[in-house]
Amino acid sequence: MNNELLHHLEQRINEAVEEIGSLRKRISELEMQNYELSEEKSEIQNSLNQTKEQQSNWESSLSQMLNRLNQMDNKQ
């Protein structure tokens, strides 16, 4: 009985060790995926910021042109 119990416990320990190894591998994969997604998010955020800045510049230029046109209209 003792040998059977020890064998059973050894089996359970080996299964637990395998499960821990599998979980560690999965954690590593998820950490890498998280890093890649963070990099991608950063690139997208930079692109969005550039687009917003460009839009702001265009709006400012349009506003200046409209103001000039209005000034020209007022002079006539």
Question: What is the pLDDT tens value at each position of the chain, 76 positions in all?
Answer: 699 999 999 999 999 999 999 999 999 999 999 999 999 999 999 999 999 999 999 999 999 999 999 988 887 6
Q: Could you tell me what percentage of the chain is helix, strand and coil, using 3-state DSSP and rounding each to the nearest 5?
A: 95, 0, 5
> Rounded distance, CA 63 to CA 55, Å?
12
User: Sign of torsion, CA 36 38 43 48?
Assistant: positive
Domain residue extents for the chain = 1-75
The CA-based diameter of the chain, rounded to the nearest angstrom, is: 110
- Counts of helices then strands in the chain (DSSP H, E): 1, 0
pTM of the model: 0.67
